[in-house]
Amino acid sequence: MLTSAMVIEPQPLTPKTAAAYLKRCLPPQPPAEWEKVLAALRTSPAALVRTPQDPGTALAAVASTALGLWLLRVVYIDGRANPAPLLNPGRFPGSKELRGHLFDQLIPALITARPPSGDAADPFRPRVSHDPGQARRWLAYLARTMTHPLNGGTPTRDFAWWRLGCVAKVNLGRG
């Protein structure tokens, strides 16, 4: 047990800081919808002082964390999605719904933003194309297998890639 360890706790980002970051991530000539989104974010109350009727409320809450900003960047900037729905309180009445939407769109956005490359100078790019729906099913299968092991093992959060062969054999045996 640690008795005198320091704890670092990040403070929420202000909407203006989040808007400035997103603006730096945009191309030099961003689509017009982005200016509306950034303006709504800049004028939104801070994440800790939210008003439900403000269209930027859910957006400001999500953008107040590094994870939320990364999700917004990957899904809407790198993925080149139209950001206009981010300001629709009917679609995203709260930060929970918006964050869920961003996680739902994460796999397709990552796969779309990083097309395959056969160039040896690009060692971290995929070599083959993947279907986002199939990738989602594979990842869901891995998550289920980790939390509900097929072979009667103990549920875990640790991904042991070297055990995938055992899991695949058990699954194949069930036909």
Non-local (6+) Cβ contacts of 141 within 8 A are: none
Give the pLDDT score at 175.
46
Distance of CA 51 to the CA centre of its chain: 25
Give the pLDDT score at 53.
52
**CB distance 60 to 68 below 8 Å:** no
Q: pLDDT per position in the chain (175 positions), as tens?
A: 777 888 888 899 999 999 999 999 999 999 999 999 999 999 987 654 445 555 568 999 999 999 999 999 999 999 899 999 999 989 998 899 999 999 999 999 999 888 888 888 988 888 899 999 999 998 888 888 778 776 667 777 787 778 777 766 555 555 4
Non-local (6+) Cβ contacts of 163 within 8 A are: none
**CB distance 105 to 75 below 8 Å:** yes
3-class DSSP assignment, residue 27:
coil
Structure tokens at 38: 């950034």
Region of 160 on the Ramachandran plot (φ > 0 left; ψ -120 to 50 alpha; else beta): beta
Q: Among 64, 55, 25, which residue's Cα sits nearest to residue 37?
A: 55
Distance of CA 133 to the CA centre of its chain: 16
pTM of the full predicted structure? 0.79
| Cα 6 from Cα 160, distance rounded (Å) | 31
